[in-house]
């Protein structure tokens, strides 16, 4: 499902115009993004939790040269599905 399909689904399920559904989706994405940039967790009960996790520095291998390289630490976004979502996906 892409963004346009999601907007259409939201509009249909919430009885909104596509314009209102698009605004709601964009506001939701903006709010989640803003929270994530502040390292806050976003927990949507029954759906899941978005969080930021720090991946430590590690040693890797350059596939072209086979030389060992240091891969720097970085922050990544993690999503853990909630119990209800996980059960429905089974």
pLDDT digit string (tens) for 22-75? 999 999 999 999 999 999 999 999 999 999 999 999 999 999 999 999 999 999
What's the whole-model pTM score?
Answer: 0.79
Q: For the chain, what are the domain ranges?
A: 1-38, 40-90
DSSP E strand stretches across the chain: 42-44, 48-55, 58-61, 68-71, 74-81
What is the CATH number assigned to the segment(s) 40-90? 4.10.520.10
pLDDT of residue 87: 94
């Amino acid at each position: 499902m892409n963004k346009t399909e999601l907007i259409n689904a939201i509009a249909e399920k919430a009885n909104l115009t596509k314009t209102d559904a698009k605004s709601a989706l964009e506001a939701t994405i903006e709010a989640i993004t803003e929270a994530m940039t502040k390292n806050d967790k976003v927990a949507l009960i029954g759906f899941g939790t978005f969080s930021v996790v720090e991946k430590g520095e590690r040693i890797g291998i350059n596939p072209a040269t086979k030389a060992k390289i240091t891969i720097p630490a970085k922050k990544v976004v993690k999503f853990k599905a909630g119990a209800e979502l996980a059960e429905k996906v089974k």
